A = this chain, B = another copy of it.
Amino acid sequence: MIWPISNLDYSSLVGRISLPFVFSSNVTNTVEANGLQNAYQRKYYNQQENKSSSYDQSCHSVFRDNMPFNQLLGLEFVTQGSGLETQISLHLNWQPSLTGNPMQKILHGGVTATMLDTIGGLVSIIETIKQTSIEHLVDLQVRLPTMGTVDMRVDYLRPGRGERFIATAAIIRKGSKLVVCRMELHNEKGDHIAFGTGTYMLG
Protein backbone atom coordinates (compact mmCIF):
# COMPACT_ATOMS: atom_id res chain seq x y z
CA MET A 1 0.00 0.00 0.00
CA ILE A 2 0.98 3.63 -0.35
CA TRP A 3 1.83 5.13 2.99
CA PRO A 4 -0.06 8.14 4.30
CA ILE A 5 2.96 10.31 4.79
CA SER A 6 2.83 10.87 1.08
CA ASN A 7 0.14 13.46 1.16
CA LEU A 8 0.26 15.00 4.60
CA ASP A 9 0.71 18.72 4.87
CA TYR A 10 4.02 18.31 6.62
CA SER A 11 4.51 21.96 7.41
CA SER A 12 1.40 22.00 9.53
CA LEU A 13 2.66 19.09 11.57
CA VAL A 14 6.02 20.49 12.56
CA GLY A 15 6.37 20.76 16.30
CA ARG A 16 3.38 18.54 16.87
CA ILE A 17 4.73 15.45 15.22
CA SER A 18 8.25 14.21 15.37
CA LEU A 19 8.43 12.12 12.21
CA PRO A 20 7.94 15.06 9.86
CA PHE A 21 11.31 16.39 10.91
CA VAL A 22 12.44 15.25 7.52
CA PHE A 23 9.53 16.89 5.83
CA SER A 24 10.01 20.34 7.25
CA SER A 25 12.26 22.92 5.70
CA ASN A 26 12.36 25.16 8.76
CA VAL A 27 13.28 22.60 11.39
CA THR A 28 15.74 24.80 13.15
CA ASN A 29 12.94 27.20 14.07
CA THR A 30 10.79 24.51 15.66
CA VAL A 31 11.37 24.91 19.37
CA GLU A 32 8.77 22.39 20.45
CA ALA A 33 10.07 19.63 18.18
CA ASN A 34 10.67 16.32 19.93
CA GLY A 35 10.86 12.55 19.66
CA LEU A 36 12.74 11.13 16.71
CA GLN A 37 13.45 14.63 15.48
CA ASN A 38 15.16 15.50 18.72
CA ALA A 39 16.91 12.18 18.72
CA TYR A 40 18.61 13.37 15.60
CA GLN A 41 19.36 16.69 17.10
CA ARG A 42 20.80 15.01 20.18
CA LYS A 43 22.77 12.62 18.04
CA TYR A 44 24.41 15.43 16.13
CA TYR A 45 24.14 18.42 18.42
CA ASN A 46 24.05 16.75 21.81
CA GLN A 47 20.88 18.43 22.97
CA GLN A 48 19.00 17.78 26.15
CA GLU A 49 16.67 14.83 26.70
CA ASN A 50 13.06 14.99 25.57
CA LYS A 51 10.19 12.87 26.67
CA SER A 52 9.31 10.01 24.37
CA SER A 53 5.63 10.30 25.14
CA SER A 54 5.35 12.99 22.54
CA TYR A 55 6.92 10.63 20.01
CA ASP A 56 4.28 8.16 21.03
CA GLN A 57 1.61 10.75 20.38
CA SER A 58 3.20 11.49 17.04
CA CYS A 59 2.84 7.94 15.82
CA HIS A 60 -0.74 7.97 16.90
CA SER A 61 -1.28 11.14 14.94
CA VAL A 62 0.32 9.99 11.74
CA PHE A 63 -0.58 6.34 11.56
CA ARG A 64 -3.86 6.02 13.37
CA ASP A 65 -5.56 9.36 13.23
CA ASN A 66 -4.54 9.95 9.64
CA MET A 67 -5.17 6.43 8.37
CA PRO A 68 -8.94 5.92 8.61
CA PHE A 69 -8.74 2.15 8.13
CA ASN A 70 -6.33 1.79 11.05
CA GLN A 71 -8.83 3.81 13.07
CA LEU A 72 -11.74 1.62 11.94
CA LEU A 73 -9.86 -1.43 13.19
CA GLY A 74 -8.76 0.23 16.42
CA LEU A 75 -5.02 -0.21 15.88
CA GLU A 76 -2.86 1.23 18.67
CA PHE A 77 0.77 2.23 18.23
CA VAL A 78 2.80 1.52 21.34
CA THR A 79 6.36 2.71 21.87
CA GLN A 80 9.04 1.69 24.33
CA GLY A 81 12.22 3.58 25.03
CA SER A 82 12.97 7.05 23.74
CA GLY A 83 14.58 8.81 20.82
CA LEU A 84 16.56 6.66 18.39
CA GLU A 85 16.22 3.64 20.69
CA THR A 86 12.43 3.75 20.47
CA GLN A 87 10.88 0.37 19.73
CA ILE A 88 7.44 0.50 18.15
CA SER A 89 4.76 -2.16 18.06
CA LEU A 90 1.17 -2.33 16.95
CA HIS A 91 -1.55 -3.49 19.34
CA LEU A 92 -5.16 -4.45 18.78
CA ASN A 93 -7.81 -5.43 21.28
CA TRP A 94 -10.17 -8.19 20.28
CA GLN A 95 -13.49 -6.91 18.94
CA PRO A 96 -16.38 -8.96 17.55
CA SER A 97 -16.37 -6.94 14.33
CA LEU A 98 -12.91 -8.30 13.46
CA THR A 99 -14.19 -11.85 13.37
CA GLY A 100 -13.61 -13.96 10.31
CA ASN A 101 -15.40 -16.85 11.95
CA PRO A 102 -18.84 -16.21 13.41
CA MET A 103 -18.89 -19.09 15.85
CA GLN A 104 -15.48 -18.60 17.39
CA LYS A 105 -13.46 -15.57 18.35
CA ILE A 106 -10.96 -15.91 15.52
CA LEU A 107 -9.40 -12.91 13.82
CA HIS A 108 -10.15 -12.48 10.11
CA GLY A 109 -7.03 -13.17 8.04
CA GLY A 110 -7.38 -9.73 6.53
CA VAL A 111 -6.91 -8.12 9.94
CA THR A 112 -3.73 -10.13 10.41
CA ALA A 113 -2.45 -9.02 7.00
CA THR A 114 -3.37 -5.41 7.77
CA MET A 115 -1.43 -5.45 11.04
CA LEU A 116 1.66 -7.05 9.47
CA ASP A 117 1.67 -4.68 6.50
CA THR A 118 1.19 -1.64 8.72
CA ILE A 119 3.91 -2.44 11.25
CA GLY A 120 6.29 -3.47 8.46
CA GLY A 121 5.80 -0.20 6.63
CA LEU A 122 6.05 1.86 9.80
CA VAL A 123 9.29 0.25 10.98
CA SER A 124 10.73 0.53 7.48
CA ILE A 125 10.04 4.26 7.48
CA ILE A 126 11.44 4.78 10.96
CA GLU A 127 14.60 2.78 10.27
CA THR A 128 15.11 4.64 7.03
CA ILE A 129 14.89 7.95 8.85
CA LYS A 130 17.21 6.69 11.60
CA GLN A 131 19.87 5.56 9.15
CA THR A 132 19.76 8.71 7.08
CA SER A 133 22.34 11.33 7.89
CA ILE A 134 21.07 14.83 8.52
CA GLU A 135 22.49 16.14 5.26
CA HIS A 136 20.47 13.59 3.28
CA LEU A 137 17.18 14.07 5.08
CA VAL A 138 16.03 16.57 2.50
CA ASP A 139 16.52 14.02 -0.26
CA LEU A 140 14.62 11.50 1.82
CA GLN A 141 11.81 14.00 2.21
CA VAL A 142 11.34 13.95 -1.53
CA ARG A 143 11.31 10.17 -1.76
CA LEU A 144 9.53 9.09 1.41
CA PRO A 145 6.11 10.42 0.43
CA THR A 146 5.63 7.73 -2.21
CA MET A 147 6.95 4.89 -0.07
CA GLY A 148 4.73 1.87 -0.40
CA THR A 149 4.49 -1.88 -0.04
CA VAL A 150 5.85 -3.72 -3.07
CA ASP A 151 4.86 -7.20 -1.98
CA MET A 152 4.21 -9.17 1.18
CA ARG A 153 4.05 -12.80 2.21
CA VAL A 154 1.88 -13.79 5.15
CA ASP A 155 2.21 -17.18 6.85
CA TYR A 156 -0.85 -17.99 8.96
CA LEU A 157 0.64 -20.16 11.70
CA ARG A 158 -2.24 -20.53 14.16
CA PRO A 159 -5.90 -19.46 14.41
CA GLY A 160 -6.09 -15.83 15.55
CA ARG A 161 -7.43 -16.41 19.04
CA GLY A 162 -6.76 -13.96 21.86
CA GLU A 163 -7.79 -10.86 23.74
CA ARG A 164 -5.00 -8.62 22.49
CA PHE A 165 -2.77 -8.92 19.45
CA ILE A 166 0.73 -7.49 19.11
CA ALA A 167 2.51 -6.96 15.79
CA THR A 168 6.26 -6.34 15.67
CA ALA A 169 8.75 -5.91 12.86
CA ALA A 170 12.48 -6.05 12.27
CA ILE A 171 14.45 -4.89 9.27
CA ILE A 172 16.21 -7.66 7.36
CA ARG A 173 17.90 -5.30 4.96
CA LYS A 174 17.74 -1.60 4.21
CA GLY A 175 18.94 -0.65 0.76
CA SER A 176 18.94 2.72 -0.91
CA LYS A 177 15.61 2.04 -2.61
CA LEU A 178 14.11 -1.04 -0.99
CA VAL A 179 13.63 -2.15 2.60
CA VAL A 180 12.95 -5.83 3.41
CA CYS A 181 11.18 -6.39 6.68
CA ARG A 182 10.16 -9.38 8.78
CA MET A 183 6.93 -9.13 10.75
CA GLU A 184 5.32 -11.23 13.48
CA LEU A 185 1.92 -11.34 15.15
CA HIS A 186 1.47 -12.76 18.63
CA ASN A 187 -1.43 -12.75 21.06
CA GLU A 188 -1.28 -11.68 24.71
CA LYS A 189 -0.15 -15.19 25.72
CA GLY A 190 2.77 -15.10 23.33
CA ASP A 191 1.28 -17.56 20.85
CA HIS A 192 2.85 -16.97 17.45
CA ILE A 193 -0.15 -16.41 15.18
CA ALA A 194 1.39 -15.15 11.96
CA PHE A 195 4.70 -14.43 10.30
CA GLY A 196 5.30 -12.10 7.38
CA THR A 197 7.94 -10.81 5.01
CA GLY A 198 7.46 -7.50 3.25
CA THR A 199 9.34 -5.52 0.62
CA TYR A 200 8.85 -1.77 0.82
CA MET A 201 10.02 0.81 -1.70
CA LEU A 202 11.15 4.34 -1.09
CA GLY A 203 9.66 6.57 -3.77
Say yes or no for A8: interface residue by CB 8 A criterion.
Answer: yes
B201 lies within 8 A of A178 (CB): yes
Number of copies: 4
> Nearest CB to that of A151 among chain B residues?
B155
Say yes or no for A128: interface residue by CB 8 A criterion.
Answer: no
B102 lies within 8 A of A67 (CB): yes
> Nearest CB to that of A118 among chain B residues?
B110
Complex-state Cα separation, A1 to B158, whole angstroms: 8
> Nearest CB to that of A6 among chain B residues?
B101
A151-B154 contact given A4-B102, A6-B101, CB 8 Å threshold: yes
Say yes or no for A195: interface residue by CB 8 A criterion.
Answer: yes
A151 lies within 8 A of B199 (CB): yes
B160 lies within 8 A of A150 (CB): no
Instruction: Name the one of B99, B154, B180 contacting A69, with C-beta atoms under 8 angstroms.
Output: B99
Complex-state Cα separation, A157 to B150, whole angstroms: 7
Complex-state Cα separation, A71 to B118, whole angstroms: 22
A3 lies within 8 A of B108 (CB): no
